[in-house]
Amino acid sequence: MKCRKCQAKLEVLRQCGRVRMRCTGCNKTYQIHEVASELDRETEEILERYTVLIYD
Ligand SMILES: [Zn+2]
């Protein structure tokens, strides 16, 4: 999925038990709920794996 500001790719960032999306272009971070409506399948699958880790 892409950054709203610069259209660069967002990467999943895991940090202290929280998961954020970070832009590889402008370095802006998004909370998951901010981008939840725009998640693509690839990102959802990554998040599902992280969710398992967090709540394990
Ligand atoms: Zn960006």
User: What does the pLDDT read at residue 4?
Assistant: 93
Taking a C-beta distance cutoff of 8 angstroms, is the pair 5, 14 a contact?
Answer: no
**Mean pLDDT, to the nearest integer, of 15-29?**
91
Residue 29 CA to ligand 1 centre (angstroms): 8
Q: What is the pTM of this model?
A: 0.78
Q: Residues for the chain: how many in total?
A: 56
Distance of CA 27 from the midpoint of ligand 1 (Å): 6
**Would you say residue 23 has pLDDT above 90?**
yes
List Cβ neighbours of 30 (8 Å cut-off, separation of 6 or more): 10, 20, 21, 22, 23
Distance 44 CA to ligand 1 centre (A): 19
Q: Comparing 25 with 50, which gets the higher pLDDT?
A: 25
Amino acid at 51: T
Residues around ion ligand 1, judged by CB within 5 A, are 3, 5-6, 8, 23, 25-26
Given a cut of 60, whether residue 15 has pLDDT beyond it is yes
Each as own residue / partner, the long-range contacts of residues 18-23 (CB below 8 Å, 24 or more positions apart, any chain) are 19/47, 19/50, 19/51, 19/54
